[in-house]
Structure 1
């Protein structure tokens, strides 16, 4: 099973009030951000809070845990699943989890701007998989092809369409937006001319057939990160060594996955039998394609560029998505953990 964009709030704006309230409540109750030490001095219990339910986005970590890579780094790793009723950012911010995973970078930017002390320390997907899908009879290959068309997208992803149209100087009134869920059926029945989703969601895309037309948001000029790793400022400052150990093990797990994709899928499905092996085998190629690029070949798995963050902040600021001042790049990301693990993160390309 792969991430379903309809359930992944790419803005998380509606969640910030609840997040801040939860954080305040836990702080009042004496919640402390800490890393639990095991009986052995070298061992640390680390809870990794997922942004959604377990999926192929965590295949590298699942492989690393199954193969003992985390244990070798002195990490006792526990996955904490997310879901529609779990605000993972607030959980991490309150100290109930030492690190977290987010589907999309805007979620972290908006959380930070909303007062949550969280920061990204590594990026799993170098390019966001969010894509506009159409059919050959009415292809949408460029943003200009959207003019006069019906574009079906999730309510939380509508801001991405606005950003795309603004970048290409297309009037919003020239495009008919249809707010819908993640079902691809409206495209097949002709109710819309395009639908949106993640390229890693192989099972959802299967009904569209091999001839479908893809226009990736990244290729169209709105460049976001996905599959983010983040922690609080406090954890980064006081337990950077533990986060570095976590990153080394995760990087090794992703390298194993890149070199042994079928075996990694088997480990994922063995650990989580509810996942469909055939669907995961279809998805593994795009998953690895987003995880390993020219950038990772040069700078190693998990790397990120301040310039990409700066562009994202600018886009969201221009669309007035921040309630207060826009966050600075240094507010939303740090390369401290990447520097600590530079020798351990594999330099593998696409």
Structure 2
């Protein structure tokens, strides 16, 4: 007797580790989850929030997640120096959003303006700043780099001249405090690396290739819908994804709008062109990270 209709197949469990707390940086994934795009692609997605105590690479090494987002400098350094079994399979940010933020009344518009100034930098990002200074021909010894704890208060009070931060977010916080900010990207001054690179282990890539492609496809659809009007979706997540973060929805709208040109690509969201990969490798070489093309796998994006 012939079967009537299709036998429903169980969705495949798939765990995604975000690189930070729930904010606009991940809006595309929230849209994809709420719209059912992961389910449509046969995935039972578990979304794991990040934060200051989460090391994304560690979660995939430990098997707590199948896929994560990372900064390419830390990932490629681990591959080059420790033989870590990672593959970068996509890039959320074509242009890294980290940059130098200063007050408009005391502006720092390019690397040479940092000479003789005090710049606050999170310890994890010092290597990136040193690369930008080196590429720009600025003597590292002429810039006073101090630790930064992700709080713009010292900048607002004039205790420092600039900070390294997400240019997509901190200018809003500064404006709320009654000051105007100005900023520039490290990317635009030679440190040409991606951010939120999509990373898996080699074992998971072999075992779950179909699921990874499904994740990329659903996530791209979510990001495309989100960025069509970056002011819309953050407002809808006030009582769900963004609840309890302590950040205003106006902040998330600002963030989502500011990140749009850094994420979008004529080749599709998550794309990694050969030119962009070469630029990443060259920029990291400036700080002694010997990355190579084999650490990047663009073939999954071709299957979307």
Once the 2 structures are TM-superposed, how far is the Cα of residue 287 of structure 1 from its aligned partner?
Answer: 2.2
Aligned length: 293
Structure 2 unaligned spans of 5+: 1-6
Among 119, 123, 132, the alignment partner of 1:155 is: 123
Once the 2 structures are TM-superposed, how far is the Cα of residue 207 of structure 1 from its aligned partner?
Answer: 4.4
Structure 1's consecutive aligned runs of 4 or more residues displaced over 6 angstroms after TM superposition are none
Q: Is the contact between residue 121 and residue 337 of structure 1 (CA under 8 Å) also seen in structure 2? A: yes
1:282 and 2:250 are equivalent in the alignment: no
CA-atom RMSD, angstroms?
A: 2.1
Once the 2 structures are TM-superposed, how far is the Cα of residue 132 of structure 1 from its aligned partner?
Answer: 0.7
Q: Which residue of 2 aligns with 1:234?
A: 203
Once the 2 structures are TM-superposed, how far is the Cα of residue 209 of structure 1 from its aligned partner?
Answer: 5.2
| Alpha-carbon distance change, 213 to 263 in structure 1, aligned in 2, over 3 angstroms | closer
Q: Which residue of 1 aligns with 2:87?
A: 119
1:171 and 2:139 are equivalent in the alignment: yes
Q: Which residue of 2 aligns with 1:337?
A: 300
Among 210, 215, 235, the alignment partner of 1:266 is: 235
Render the CA deviation track for 1:1-60: whole Å, top value 9, x for unaligned.
xxxxxxxxxxxxxxxxxxxxxxxxxxxxxxxxxxxxxx9535211100112222212111
Give the Cα separation in 2 of the matches to 1:211 and 1:204. 10
Render the CA deviation track for 1:235-290: whole Å, top value 9, x for unaligned.
22232111111111111111110124344213433322224322212222112222
1:108 and 2:87 are equivalent in the alignment: no
Among 277, 282, 292, the alignment partner of 1:309 is: 277
| Alpha-carbon distance change, 327 to 143 in structure 1, aligned in 2, over 3 angstroms | closer
Once the 2 structures are TM-superposed, how far is the Cα of residue 210 of structure 1 from its aligned partner?
Answer: 6.5
Superposed, which structure 2 residues align to 1:63-78 within 5 Å?
63-78=31-46
Render the CA deviation track for 1:205-235: whole Å, top value 9, x for unaligned.
4346574221211111211111221111122
Give the Cα separation in 1 of the matches to 2:139 and 2:284. 17
Give the Cα separation in 1 of the matches to 2:144 and 2:216. 43
> Could you say what secondary structure the match of 1:134 adopts?
strand
Once the 2 structures are TM-superposed, how far is the Cα of residue 162 of structure 1 from its aligned partner?
Answer: 1.1
Q: Which residue of 1 aligns with 2:191?
A: 222
Give the Cα separation in 2 of the matches to 1:170 and 1:261. 37
| Alpha-carbon distance change, 327 to 302 in structure 1, aligned in 2, over 3 angstroms | same
1:145 and 2:109 are equivalent in the alignment: no
Q: Which residue of 2 aligns with 1:14?
A: none
| Alpha-carbon distance change, 223 to 303 in structure 1, aligned in 2, over 3 angstroms | same
Give the Cα separation in 2 of the matches to 1:289 and 1:209. 26
| Alpha-carbon distance change, 192 to 338 in structure 1, aligned in 2, over 3 angstroms | same
Q: Which residue of 2 aligns with 1:45?
A: 13
Q: Is the contact between residue 89 and residue 111 of structure 1 (CA under 8 Å) also seen in structure 2? A: no
> Could you say what secondary structure the match of 2:105 adopts?
coil
Among 140, 146, 167, the alignment partner of 1:199 is: 167
Structure 1 unaligned spans of 5+: 1-38, 342-350
Give the Cα separation in 2 of the matches to 1:151 and 1:116. 32
| Alpha-carbon distance change, 194 to 208 in structure 1, aligned in 2, over 3 angstroms | farther
| Alpha-carbon distance change, 235 to 244 in structure 1, aligned in 2, over 3 angstroms | same
